[in-house]
Structure 1
Amino acid sequence: MKFEIMRDHLMMALNDVMKAVSQKTTTPILTGIKLDLNESGLKMTGSDSDITIQTFIPTEVDGDQVIRIIEEGSIVLQAKVFHEIIRKLPTSDVEIEVREQHHTLIRSGKSEFDLLGLNSSDYPLLPEVQEDQKFTIPADLLRSIIRETVFAVSTQESRPVLTGVHWLAKDGDLVCVATDSHRLARRKTTLPALPAESYSVVIPGKSLNELSKIIGDSTDDVEIVMTKQLVLFKSGDVLFYSRLLEGNYPDTSRLIPAEFKTDVIINSRALLSAIDRASLLSREERNNIVRFTSLDGNVVEISSSSPEIGKVEEEVAAESIEGEELKLSFSAKYMMDALKAIDASEVKIQFAGAMRPFILKSVHDETNLQLILPVRTY
């Protein structure tokens, strides 16, 4: 294998592939990146067995030659070292040549590296995907769905299924839910071209975080292919495979109250800032608890205290407060995460009772719902 390539294109593709490579894998060859060169261009593949990312660099981009192919072939190179070498090469032109016994020469300017490669036939094959369950989604919408849900997944491996986001497609709606059993984030989206057959999958939160980085600021549509074992996202010249989590996701619809005793409409930024300030005194405490109390005259009081540090109280004007008087405590972190996820100027907070879950949503948009369980402190 021998070819010349523009360093910038190689580096961009490498940055994506590296997101799938782990140095902790029990399969040594997966610490490497597989390079496949043929007449159409260069494919690079990285995997940690949970996530697999493949990028493709065509020989020409917008009429400009990106790769000059001298001899086709394939090789596996140590990912971390290869990435660092390409990143630090002195010129924009790179020549890569594989010689006998997988010795791989990398030349740029007056620099020359000789890396020991591995046989590419030992690298795991990409999974076969039947593309009968597929649909497309705009990249910015997919980014929003991930941002508004993935933060609420569980970090505890004791219930692995809760470390993922549940995607349920049914009757033209895609409903994405994440919960760690103390809070819940749900995003509903109506998509015109969902498969007629309903499906339910749980995608690992880690996979969705990496996918969001790869999509970046793209404005293209992302094609999504679902199977029973994995999901494939196609974005431009990148294929992103993720395994699915096994197990039945709990029926979270029963957690969402149907009736409420108090409704509060309040400026999101003002509430977020007040909770952030109140948490300064409780941040060292184990649960970082902040209290929320409704006062006369459409005012809420945000307060917190620490026996070792002191206490803080702050009043925030609400647009409206309807219903019963309120007095409850919650995790400052959970509340701030929920307010950031909603990303609206005004939020409606609905309370079903002292120790019942309460929900937050935008005043003008009900597709994004956040739920938090209060903490007993009174």
Structure 2
Amino acid sequence: MKASQKLPERGRTKSNELNALTPSDARRGRGAVSNPAGRFVTIQTDKFDDGWENATDFIDEASRISWHSETARTIITRNQSPDISFDRSINPYRGCEHGCAYCFARPSHAYLGHSPGIDFERQLYFKNNAVELLRRELSGRKYEPRPIALGINTDAYQPEEKRLRLTREILRVLDEFNHPVMILTKSALIRRDIDILSGMAERGLVSTGVSMTTLKHDVSIKLEPRAAAPSLRLQTIEALAKAGIPVVQMTAPIIPCLNDSELEAMISAGADAGAINARYVLLRLPYELKDIFQEWLKAHFPDRAARVINTLRDMRGGKDYDAEWHKRQRGDGPVAALIAARFKQAVKRAGMTEQPSRLRCDLFKVPTKDSPQMSFGF
């Protein structure tokens, strides 16, 4: 499928039908409990009972997923963050259907005029010119190759990727240019692209990461309602590893008093499945996410919500979030130190390492116009 091809409706609303949810209405299959207005919206609404018997039917209709085609100006995003291992990334999608209650990317949806709540899960965007832009940017005279992180802000393997195939076409371009790539996902759909990834792995061009938050299905279905089940993620690690593709188990986010008790079990399970590296990140709650996540906690885990919130604040110097470099991903204080020590020991016992695989940049080459691969889907 060409990246510019029109997306079939298949039961979804058209891009101009932006029905608004009433704030505080929780829906089944959603991560966020409410749909608060974004911080850049000038008009906000409050929920009230107007006495209409069919109000819930309207809300269910408004909950339908809408996919919007977006023409991007650039596709490779740069960063200068000193506490992450890459300086560039590609996100073919904005918003995420997985609906993870903890997603740090939720506040970015406010820039689109949407809510970081349920809108983040239902008002979704795909970059229709992503493949064309990537080829152009990689071909630039001044371009210097370094590993590209794919799908870091929002998952590159969302359910709609089955039809859009943007991520697959991006991988084909990176393969064609011999360009290194790092992928992080919580979707089993990545197995579809093992045919491309295995060849890139043989040349030292790819590292994959599978995110794990829990081994308990009853927790996962509340925490990340439309993502792959924990057992399926372990099967995905196994499939990638058997194909010779390096796999990092990303144990993230660690949420104290909710999933930290599973830390050792998750690392052990990932190692048994074939992961060779492991990393973890403490839950981050920037901007609106702190309210969205705390509301989710009170709705789904009322017995421990206060304990989770207070423990997180203890790890953030009394605040809901501390954006200071290096501290934002690990926290501070005795609880943070204990989690770090437990993680290090668990990784050592599992025979894994915290160091990511080194990817090759020296093979990068802009293909010639008569390359047979230039015809891929274009």
TM-score, normalization: structure 1?
Answer: 0.22
TM-score, normalization: structure 2?
Answer: 0.22
Which protein has the bigger helix share? 2
**Higher alpha-carbon Rg:** 1
